[in-house]
Structure 1
Amino acid sequence: MTGPNGDDRQSGGGKKHDVIPPSSPLYLHPSDSPSLMLTQTIFNGDNYDIWADAVCNGLDAKNKLRLVDDTVKQPVLKSSSDGGMECVAWRQCNAMVKAWLRNVIDPKLHPSITFTATVPEIWAELKERYAQGNAPRVHQLKNDLNECKQAK
């Protein structure tokens, strides 16, 4: 139903109904739940690269990867009259993705992310602490160790 100003109105109630389109990263599907497991790979502090790849794949399938890399910024409420629909949707998505991340992180590591407010902050914190920045050097050292032989 269209109101006198051309805005869409919910039939019967007369309230304007804002809707997040399903193609938006801020859309939460009715089947999305905080208990969802994005991957069977649980982050234990030693498997960051494998875990991060699996989580990114799961988030990409849910159209939420852009919340992790911070390309979907937290909206700013422009005025008290605009309703803040995108602000609410962003907060809900941020909370949902935080829950999904907690589900695939070993509980002993939860204290390191407990007081982190946003998904991009959690992701950056984990990456900074656990990503192997010099994997080629580690590989080379392992090869060197394998080639070592005890002198006779």
Structure 2
Amino acid sequence: MPGSDDKLKGGMEGSPKTIPMTSPLYLHPSDNPSFNVTQIIFDGNNYDIWAEAVKNGLDAKNKLAFIEGNVKKPESDEEEDSIELVAWRQCNAMLRAWLQNVIDPELHLSITFTQSIEDIWNELRERYSAGNPPRVHQLKGELNEYKQGRDSVVEYYTRLKVILDELANYSKIKNCTYGAAASIAKEREE
């Protein structure tokens, strides 16, 4: 059917159709299930740092759209194994493997039977995202109790910056039209 395969590239008439390299459905020949999308392993306590690292790795592989929900499973039509459906299944399986590679094995069972990478991502975010009042309270307590002690100035500053950056991540400061945002940013930096 002319025009029905606009997303697909094909050579001559009758040649196999392929997924374009710019599509999130494209898997590079070097992509494999043992790939580590980040070096940070999620252990149940470091969700926010891990999630940012995973999103960065998936963005580099043009797969971020899967966890953001922008690449949906193609609807089945009379052709059960359409090229898009097969490509989506392969990418979904690959991304599930990539996530399992960067999650502590003790947590695998909680996601093993969830089929969609988007569902897995949303489930992990709902369960572990620290963007909630108890985590904010915990961070403020850590900030209040943290002392330099035997740490070097660099180590002390780095730890404080990590806590402050995570707290800033949960800040719900609204956009300001009166120029106060610049002074708030300056104050935060100081």
* TM-score greater than 0.5 by the shorter chain: yes
* Percent of aligned positions that are identical: 53
The structure with more helix, counted as a fraction of residues: 2
| Counterpart AA for 1:27 | Y
2:95 aligns with 97
Read off the aligned partner of 2:90 and give its amino acid letter: Q
For residue 32 of structure 2, give the secondary structure of its aligned residue in structure 1: coil
Determine whether 1:68 maps to 2:78: no
CA distance in 1, matches of 2:144, 2:76: 57
1:123 maps to: 121
Count of residues paired in the alignment: 136
Where does the alignment leave 5 or more consecutive residues of structure 1 unmatched?
1-6, 148-152
Q: TM-score, normalised by structure 2?
A: 0.66
Note the residue ranges of structure 2 that are not aligned, 5 or more in a row: 1-9, 148-190
Match of 1:45 in 2: 44
Q: Distance in 1 between matches of 2:43 and 2:146?
A: 26
Tell me which of the two structures has the higher relative contact order, counting C-alpha pairs closer than 8 angstroms and 6 or more residues apart: 1
2:24 aligned with 1:19: no
* Change beyond 3 A, Cα 1:126–1:137: same
Give the RMSD, CA atoms, in angstroms: 2.1
Change (3 A) 1:103 1:146: closer
Structure 1 stretches of at least 4 aligned residues deviating more than 4 Å after TM superposition = 143-147
What's the TM-score once normalised by structure 1's chain length?
0.81
